[in-house]
A = this chain, B = another copy of it.
Amino acid sequence: MKALVTVMPKAGVLDPQGKAIGHALSSLGFAGVADVRAGKVIELELAETDPAKAKAAAEEMARKLLANTVIESFRVEVV
């Protein structure tokens, strides 16, 4: 069973990587980009076959390792 953990900086937290991407896009001539936030996505291939248990396990992994919950929020999708 596959779980996708998406980790994004929380609203209000400075995101220098997102800012840099925004500047690079406008130097390349892309107009109309108001804001850019950069986060990460971790694709986990789990042995667990029950979707609810797989989601709970992935959330536990996100809290313990994948996300810094002080400055980042995460969401888990099971696919």
Residues in chain A within 8 A of chain B (CB atoms): 6, 8, 18, 21, 24-25, 28, 30-48, 57, 60-61, 64-66
Contact = CB atoms under 8 A, between A and B. Distances in A.
Q: Which of A31, A46, A60 has the most CB of B within 10 A?
A: A46
A64 to B, nearest CB: 6
Given A38-B42, A41-B39, A43-B8, A65 B24 contact: yes
Contacts of A41: 6, 8, 38-41
A60 B33 CA distance: 13
A21 B66 CA distance: 8
B6 A32 contact: no
Contacts of A46: 32-34
